[in-house]
Structure 1
Amino acid sequence: MPVKIRLQRHGKKGKPFYWIVAADSRAKRDGKFLEKLGTYNPTEVPAVITLDIDKSVEWLFKGAQPTNTARAILKYKGAMLKKHLLVGVKKGAFTEEEAEKKFQAWLEEKEAKIKAHKDAVEAERAKEKAERLEKEKAVNQARAAAQKAANAEIIAEAEAEAAKNEPVDAVEEALNSDQTIEEAAGTAAPEEKTEE
């Protein structure tokens, strides 16, 4: 039975999520599989990959052929390197302990690179967010200044209008106030009498 290590698609439309599986090459892409080896989420930055390296190496030794994408993932996680080192152990080039030390050193170096990349991406995102916030603050301040200027203009127009009408109103009020004082004096006296 020709076995392939390949990706099996899961997830929603537009949001892919893959299982890394060992499957019969004649089976459908999302059909039956022999064993699930891990997962691959390409929507995250950097992509999130979980892989059982030992099971993957076991399937590689059994003759399973990885697809191009699966091979890239196996290289990225170190399964291909581990297989290479174990072949060296079988040939007697070095001991299994040395192979394990080399593999662990490679893993630590790889994790450091991944962490550095992830930190760089997060720093870039934070910088972009800060820049967007500064631009938005500037736009809001400009908008507030424009609103203030418009309000000041409206108030100035209203005051100018009031100043034009004020001299006429002042004379009319003065005339009315004289009349109202006399009227008030005339009406106030009878009210006082009725209250007593």
Structure 2
Amino acid sequence: MSVKIRLQRHGKKGKPFYWIVAADARSKRDGKFLEKIGTYNPTVNPAIIDLNVDAAVQWLHNGAQPTDTARAILSYKGALLKHHLDGGVRKGALTQDQADVKLAAWLGEKSGTVDAKKDGLSKAKEDAKAKAFKLEQEANEKRAKAAADALKPEEVEVEEAPAAEVEAEEAAEVEVEVEETPAAEENNEETKA
């Protein structure tokens, strides 16, 4: 029986979540498996990988072949390096202590790069938030200025009309007042009678 280390999909549609399993190569993708050796969540940045490195290395020693994606995950977590160093120990090229030191140095370097990426992402997120806040403040200032301008009394330029037109308008107003006055007196006399 050939054994594969592969991903088994779980999660909702559009939100994948994977189990990293050792399974018979003939079984279905989400079917029976021999052992669950970890989980993989690609929906966050950076992806969350929880892997039992010792169990993965044991399956690699037993001849399990990882799929392409599983190989990338095992490499990322150091399982392939540990398998390689264990091969060197078995052949006598180095001691177990030397292999452990090399693995620890590599894991320390890897955790440093992952932390740097997390810091870079959080800083980029904060910068984007600060930039959006600044743009929003500028837009609010423009909106407030436009509202203040709308409330100011508009300065209307008064064009001076020729004197003859002004006198004609005043005369028309006087005639209207004169006509209204006798009518008002007649109404008063009718009410008294």
TM-score bracket relative to the smaller structure = 0.7 to 0.9
- Correspondence for 2:53: 53
Match of 1:32, as an amino acid? Answer: K
Q: Within 2, Cα distance between the matches of 1:94 and 1:55?
A: 22
2:69 matched to 1:69?
A: yes
Q: Within 2, Cα distance between the matches of 1:133 and 1:12?
A: 34
The alpha carbon displacement at 1:118 in A equals 0.8
Structure 1 stretches lacking a partner, 5+ long: 158-196
- Correspondence for 1:134: 134
Q: Within 2, Cα distance between the matches of 1:4 and 1:36?
A: 12
- Correspondence for 1:107: 107
Q: Within 1, Cα distance between the matches of 2:105 and 2:44?
A: 26
Please tell me the root mean square deviation across aligned C-alpha atoms, in Å: 1.4
TM-score by length of 2: 0.78
* 1:1-196 map, 5 Å: 1-153=1-153
SS of residue matched to 1:138 = helix
Match of 1:52, as an amino acid? Answer: N
SS of residue matched to 1:6 = strand
SS of residue matched to 1:81 = helix
Q: Within 1, Cα distance between the matches of 2:145 and 2:13?
A: 46
Deviates more, 1:62-71 or 1:12-21: 12-21
The alpha carbon displacement at 1:140 in A equals 1.2
Decide which structure has greater helix share.
1
Percent of residue pairs bearing the same amino acid type: 59
Match of 1:99, as an amino acid? Answer: A
Match of 1:34, as an amino acid? Answer: L
Q: Within 1, Cα distance between the matches of 2:73 and 2:88?
A: 22
Q: Deviations over 1:42-88 (max 9, x none)?
A: 11111111110000000001111000000000000000000000000
The alpha carbon displacement at 1:12 in A equals 1.2
Q: Within 2, Cα distance between the matches of 1:113 and 1:79?
A: 18
TM-score by length of 1: 0.77
Consecutive aligned runs of 4 or more in structure 1 exceeding 3 Å deviation: none
SS of residue matched to 2:43 = coil
Q: Within 1, Cα distance between the matches of 2:47 and 2:140?
A: 37
The alpha carbon displacement at 1:151 in A equals 2.3
Q: Within 1, Cα distance between the matches of 2:14 and 2:147?
A: 43
Q: Within 2, Cα distance between the matches of 1:83 and 1:44?
A: 28
Length, aligned pairs only:
156
The alpha carbon displacement at 1:152 in A equals 2.4
